[in-house]
Structure 1
Amino acid sequence: MAMLCEPIDKYFVETLLCSGGGKMSIIGIHWMVRAMIRLKVVTAMLLLALNNITYAQIADVSGVGEDRDSALRDAKRNAVEQVVGTYINSETLLSQASVVSDEIYAKSVGFITDVRVIDEGKRNGNYYVRAKIDVNTNPNSELMNRIEMIKALGDPRIGVVVTYYSDADNAAKEKYPLMCESAINRKLVELGFSHVIDSALIYNEKNFDRGMALDASALLPNPEMDYLIIGKLDLHTGNISLPRYTDLGSGELVENFSTNLINSVAEINVEVVKAATGEVVNTFRSETKSINNSNNSSENTAVVQLSEIVATKIKSVLANKASAADNQIQVEIEIDNYKFVSEIITALKHTAGVSSVQEKNFSNGKAMVTIETTLKPQTVFRLLKEKCKCNLYIKNITANNIVITAE
């Protein structure tokens, strides 16, 4: 407050003294100073309010339900749906229908910052509400993270497997990789990914015992994922000691003494791999450290901090991959009649933006085709529907995989 008063006092004192003001002038000074301070405070509060409004989009919506509460929930869902629609086009929404429905709209209440009811009441046996609803569009909000993920990355299926780098046979080999995986998965979900696969499912798929020494690349290929994240974790822990001197002047060293503080350094080498092909998309190394008063606390903190850094880097790697000029997509065609498979492959070869169409195999009513393309998977499917005479239906779609049937 003193910082606000100082320039104002100086200005008014100089002005009024020059005009020969006496006692009344001093009173005038204090009144004007208080007025200017109030003005500055009000201005600051308005600026803060405007800043908050900047990160909220207002939706004018209505909701219907059996009672007021259910009508308000319906209105909130409609508000979120309206805001999502301003960021994601209908084509993407259609291809990601299950993701949007289950992962965004189901959490709509958590994305609302304010509700102002304009009109409400009973209509045709139901309760009706019309309201202006503020939806949180802060760039770092959960909603905007989800929207960014669907737009940029197609919300890929991700599996994270962490092994212990050291050959030491101790409890840490089981405890810390699991802790690291869990923390990475939690952060990935927070960053907007919704298809994060538990590592236990990945190991069970291959009938591997995670307690045994394993090269994680043996988990490939895995068509149930788009990307497999393979991490090799190492952890170093030790007491922090400081030198003790008998004479600070001479600097004669007698011995080191323990501070009872524990320093843990966690490091990890990571490979981001295409799960269907084993192609390494990116590799990186991260390291962090933690100081605490016990081994357990120090090591736990270091591993969790490292895991959050890794998850953020994974998002960056996949975002860069998604923005690359060409992206490889696997097209799975589930149909008994090979005539339809041949028609789809021909259509792919004559689709602008699609290149390197390669059929891998056709057996048991399933064909596997890989393509290089600048297009999003949902766009590839839409163009196929336009070009093919057979009726195409989509079973599943992710960033790097399309599963379709035909008749």
Structure 2
Amino acid sequence: MMPVSRCALLVMILPLVMVTAQTTQVLTAKGVGIDHSAALDDAKRNAIEQGLGVFLSARTVASNFTLLSDNIITRAEGFVKAYKVISEAQTVDGGWEVTIEAAVTAMLDEILNDQAAIDILIQVMGRPRIMFLVNEQIEFSWFDRNSGLVETMLMQAFFDRNFNLVDREQLAAIRHNDMTRLAQQGNAEAAQNLGRMFKAECVVAGKASAVQNSNAYGMASIRGDLNVKVIRVDNGELLGVVHVSSTKAQPSPEAAARAAFEAAAEKAAQQIIAHLIRKWGGEAANFKPISLQINNVDFMRATDIEVWLKAHVPGVKTVSPRPFEGNVAEMEIGFEGTANELARALAGNTVYPVTVVNVTQNKIVLLSK
């Protein structure tokens, strides 16, 4: 039976007719890969490159579907909003060849106004779970400091756009502990630890504060400030920083504070979503960084593995080694695909046998045999 891709279930409900001609091009592109999913991903990348004028300087596909190429000469943001498979076939050496008709948008920001495109992107990225940790600092004794108004507003905005969230009720046990406070103060390691605890892929952590301005004409004026960081859990990557303010005047300080917080949360949600869409869209269109950790390996073997990865593993575009220490090699892999796909390729190789210890969306831990 034909393998099912990450997005195949969406094809039937997202026909190409939904896309307007003003913002997209419908292109035909072919892709090859070691399996059906990899070939489909390659076809979508080729459609994006074709539509946006992105060229590879030296692309060669060998009989075992090893892809050797120089860096992309011109980089551009793009995204396949919808596609349909025209033909698909398994090749004589076990790989796959897939041809698709794809609607490609040239402006990634347009996705922010297209929920169907956001839904596809979320699926492509593996429906990452997002966790919110926002502390409210209010200088007024009458305001409920545990209301969670800002956090609730942010989560509602993300829920409305079909993002996958960690339920706020699950966080009650850690709401006021030291690690949570550190994360809210901007400590990435604390945010990562909490994210792992609740199986989240991204953490949005920070503080909201309400400051009373001078009253005028019987109205209370309150400024609401919101500062958050967006942190990728498995590798600690900073995906975005958001700072917004909003001032509101109401008959009572409480009403003004709530209005200011609501307005600030609405602005922040839009900016956080934009950060994620740009980051994830860029990774879907080009290649994503995957952290690779190899345990029980000496320096020379680690160096050999670096060379082998780029030369012989399909989809590997870049290999950037990190400092070597204590028989542990770390490197960042630029890979056209998911961490699971890369882990399968590494686990199945016989040149440098390894055991896969752990796989998350953006990190792989291996044990060299």
If the length of structure 1 is used for normalisation, what is the TM-score?
A: 0.47
Is residue 2:128 matched to residue 1:156?
A: yes
* Structure 1 position 187, deviation (Å): 1.3
Map of 2:37 onto structure 1: 91
- Alignment pair present for 1:380 and 2:342: yes
Paired residues of 1:185 and 1:196 also in contact (CA < 8 A): no
Q: What amino acid sits opposite 1:145 in the alignment?
A: I
**Structure 2 counterpart of 1:174, which letter?**
R
Tell me whether 1:304 sits opposite 2:255 in the alignment.
no
Percent identity of the aligned residues? Answer: 16
Residue 157 of structure 1 aligns with an amino acid whose one-letter code is R
Residue 107 of structure 2 is matched in structure 1 by none
Task: Tell me the secondary structure at the aligned position of residue 216 of structure 2.
Answer: strand
The 5 Å alignment of 1:78-117 reads 82-83=12-13, 91=37
Q: 1:212 to 1:158 in 2, by over 3 A?
A: closer
C-alpha distance in structure 2 between counterparts of 1:240 and 1:395, whole Å = 57
Higher relative contact order (CA 8 A, sep 6+): 2
Q: What is residue 208 of structure 1 aligned with on the other side?
A: 178
- The number of aligned residues is 260
Q: Sort the Cα spacing of 1:212 and 1:172 in 2 relative to 1 into closer, same or farther, 3 A.
A: farther
1:356 aligns with 2:320: yes
Q: Give yes or no for contact 1:188–1:196 (8 Å, CA) kept in 2.
A: no
- Select the residue among 142, 157, 163 that pairs with 1:193: 163
Matched residue, 1:328: 289
**What TM-score, normalized by structure 2, do the two folds share?**
0.51
How far 1:353 sits from its partner (Å)? 0.6
Distance 1:213 1:271 in 2: 9
TM-fit CA distance, 1:354: 3.2
Q: Check 1:300–1:388 CA distance in 2 against 1; reply closer, same or farther (3 A cut).
A: farther
Post-superposition Cα deviations, 1:132-167, rounded to whole Å, max 9, x if no partner, equal xxxxxx98565543213234x55433322222457x
C-alpha deviation, 1:204, in angstroms: 3.2
Alignment pair present for 1:317 and 2:275: yes
Within 5 Å, give how 1:258-269 maps onto structure 2.
Answer: 258=218, 261-269=219-227
Kindly indicate whether the alpha-carbon contact (under 8 Å) linking 1:396 and 1:402 is maintained by their aligned counterparts in 2: yes
- 5+ residue gaps, structure 1, are 1-77, 96-137, 243-257
Aligned-pair distance for 1:235? 1.0
Q: Summarize deviations over 1:184-211 as a string: whole Å, max 9, x none.
A: 1221222232144648649739953868
For the Cα contact (< 8 Å) 1:347–1:387, is it kept in 2? no
Cα distance in structure 2, aligned partners of 1:197 and 1:209: 18
Once the two structures are overlaid, the 10-residue window that deviates more, 295-304 or 381-390, is 381-390
Aligned pair partner of 2:228 in 235, 256, 270? 270
Write the distance in 2 (CA, Å) between the matches of 1:296 and 1:169. Answer: 9
**Which digits, 9 at most, give the CA deviation of each residue in 1:272-295, with x for residues without a partner?**
233345444432311123333333
What is the correspondence of 1:18-37 to structure 2 with a 5 Å cutoff?
Answer: none
1:289-332 CA distance string (max 9 Å, x none): 33333333332232122212212211222233331677432357
Secondary structure of 2:178's counterpart equals coil
Question: How far off is 1:356 after superposition?
Answer: 1.6
Do the aligned partners of residues 93 and 326 (structure 1) sit closer, same or farther apart at CA in structure 2, a change above 3 Å counting?
A: closer
- Root-mean-square deviation (CA), in Å? 5.1
Alignment partner for residue 233 of structure 1, among 205, 208, 225?
Answer: 208
1:121-140 CA distance string (max 9 Å, x none)? xxxxxxxxxxxxxxxxx985
Distance in 2 (alpha carbons) for counterparts of 1:406 and 1:164:
47
Distance 1:191 1:319 in 2: 12
Structure 1 partner of 2:97: none
Cα offset for 1:402?
5.1
Give the equivalent residue in structure 1 for 2:60. none
1:262/1:314 Cα in 2 relative to 1: closer, same or farther (>3 Å)? same
The answer as to whether partners of 1:344 and 1:388 remain within 8 angstroms in 2 is no
In 2, distance between residues paired with 1:228 and 1:277?
Answer: 12
- Checking the alignment, whether the CA contact within 8 Å between 1:354 and 1:375 is kept in structure 2 is no
Structure 2 SS opposite 1:353: strand
> Shift of the alpha carbon at 1:370?
4.6
